[in-house]
Amino acid sequence: MSTESMKPDPTGGAQANNVVAPSPEAISRAVELLREGQVIGLPTETVYGLAGDGLNPSALACIFEVKQRPLFDPLILHCVDAGAAFDLADDVPSMARELAQRFWPGPLTLVLRKKETVPDLATSGLPNVAVRVPAHPVAQALLRAFGGPLAAPSANRFGRISPTDAHAVRAELGDAVPLILDGGPCAVGLESTVILVAEHQPVLLRAGGVPREEIEALVGSVLHATPVDDRPQAPGQLKHHYAPRKPLRLVRDLRDIEFQPDCGALLFGNPDLTQASSGVIENLSSTGDLREAAANFFRALRALDDHPEVAVIYALRLPAYGLGLSINERLERASS
Ligand code: TXA
Ligand code: MG
């Protein structure tokens, strides 16, 4: 045995031997596992997903089990293109086609009337199915090789912070999945925007990677579903979500932050930090760029949550437009 292998593992035993580069061999292995009904870690442009065969009830059950997710919270089915996505729907309003044309592949999920063939477990027994065409090249390659829809919630344990790189998936799920495809850090960094288009007027079920304004510019005003405490009418509206283990306080002003050695601060823009003599600071974007902030958001939140010196996290509310709204919604839930 080499002395090297006897050194203590710097990752504390969390050696990432199920994290692999997305080579053609790894994609083939992933397809094999998915055909067996197993689940894997999959990069998308929004966040990493915990993917399983979307039409295989036992794979779907495995997703709920690994994620420790309540069965009433339905899954998104990821498809290779709009044709495959709309094949899962019973009725596709023209508005859905317009949205797909403009935003797919990309961070938008459409909720439509489901076809009989979609397993009830995927939709938690609801008459609607959520579908999305992801843009990430690894997700695209896997969907093409697999040849069917993949159900994929974010690859975190239920209620926790979504992972935006392969090592965060590893930290969340460890060896509970046989394979995690490493597609690098997620470019968008926030989950998809979820829009229900099965009713008369479109309803925003979750703010996300496509800013609401861009959707309204295309299809007119959308209703906004409000978060609820317990079993959601429109699922995905749980109030307490995206939660760090440490308390998170959402503030409007830098002066509301008590900069102590045990304080972590999630900031934005170019704040005057002359009063901030102590604490751990994560700036989402020093140039005030909301896209950059979104891409950094979950990584920065996780870094403060994992930081040994930090006992309480303060987060500065972001400007209330574009992706700032999507980030604020997550901060509100994380702090509730
Ligand atoms: O960006 C994303 O959407 C990521 C990546 C992996 O694609 N996935 C993701 O999945 O965020 P998940 O399961 O963490 O969130 C899915 C959201 C939930 O809020 C769920 O309640 C909602 O979509 N949803 C799914 N199916 C639905 C349905 N039939 N009706 C209403 N809401 C639904
Ligand atoms: Mg999630």
Q: Can you tell me the mean pLDDT for 209-235? A: 79
Question: Is the beta carbon of 323 within 6 A of some atom in ligand 1?
Answer: no
Q: Provide the pLDDT for residue 173.
A: 95
Q: Which ligand is nearest to the CA of 206?
A: 1
DSSP 106-135: SSEEEEEEEPTTS-HHHHTT-SEEEEE---
pLDDT at 62 over 80: yes
Q: What is the pLDDT of residues 175-213, one digit of tens each?
A: 999 999 999 999 999 999 999 997 778 999 999 999 999
Q: What is the pLDDT of residues 302-311, one digit of tens each?
A: 999 999 999 9
Tokens representing residue 210 in the block:
């496509």
pLDDT at 87 over 70: yes
Q: Provide the pLDDT for residue 17.
A: 86
- Other Cβ atoms within 10 Å of 239 Cβ, number: 13
- Give the environment of ion ligand 2: residues with CB less than 5 A: 154
Q: Can you tell me the mean pLDDT for 81-106? A: 97
Percent helix / strand / coil, the chain, rounded to 5: 30, 20, 50
C-alpha to C-alpha distance for 32 and 14, rounded to whole angstroms: 25
pTM: 0.91
What's the whole-number average pLDDT of the chain? 91
* E strand map for 155-297: 180-181, 193-196, 203-206, 223-224, 248-251, 263-267, 280-283
Q: Provide the pLDDT for residue 165.
A: 98
Question: Is the beta carbon of 128 within 6 A of some atom in ligand 1?
Answer: yes
pLDDT at 241 over 80: no
Q: Provide the pLDDT for residue 329.
A: 94
Tokens representing residue 24 in the block:
């053609």
Q: What is the pLDDT of residues 145-172, one digit of tens each?
A: 999 999 999 999 998 999 999 999 999 9
Confidence band for 142, pLDDT divided at 50, 70 and 90: very high
Q: Provide the pLDDT for residue 22.
A: 98
C-alpha to C-alpha distance for 141 and 28, rounded to whole angstroms: 10
Confidence band for 246, pLDDT divided at 50, 70 and 90: very high
Name all contacts of 196-204 with Cβ < 8 Å and 24+ positions apart: 196/111, 196/128, 196/225, 196/234, 197/93, 197/95, 197/96, 197/99, 197/110, 197/111, 197/112, 198/91, 198/93, 198/111, 198/112, 198/113, 198/127, 198/128, 202/95, 203/234
Task: Check the CA dihedral 252-254-255-260 and report its sign.
Answer: positive
Question: Is the beta carbon of 52 within 6 A of some atom in ligand 1?
Answer: no
Q: Which atom of ligand 1 is nearest to the CA of 155?
A: 6
Q: Which atom of ligand 1 is nearest to the CA of 69?
A: 13
**Residue type at 98 in one-letter notation:** E
Q: Which atom of ligand 1 is nearest to the CA of 192?
A: 1
pLDDT at 21 over 70: yes
Identity of the highest mean pLDDT range in 100-109, 237-246, 275-284: 100-109
Residue owning the nearest CA to atom 17 of ligand 1: 236
pLDDT at 296 over 80: yes
Confidence band for 14, pLDDT divided at 50, 70 and 90: very low
Q: Provide the pLDDT for residue 12.
A: 41
CA distances in angstroms from 288 to 187, 263, 319, listed in the order given: 17, 22, 9
**Residue type at 162 in one-letter notation:** S
Question: Is the beta carbon of 129 within 6 A of some atom in ligand 1?
Answer: yes
Q: Which ligand is nearest to the CA of 54?
A: 1
Q: Which of 67, 194, 230 to mutate to test the pocket of ligand 1 (most atoms within 8 A of CB)?
A: 194
DSSP 93-108: -HHHHHHHHHH-SSSE
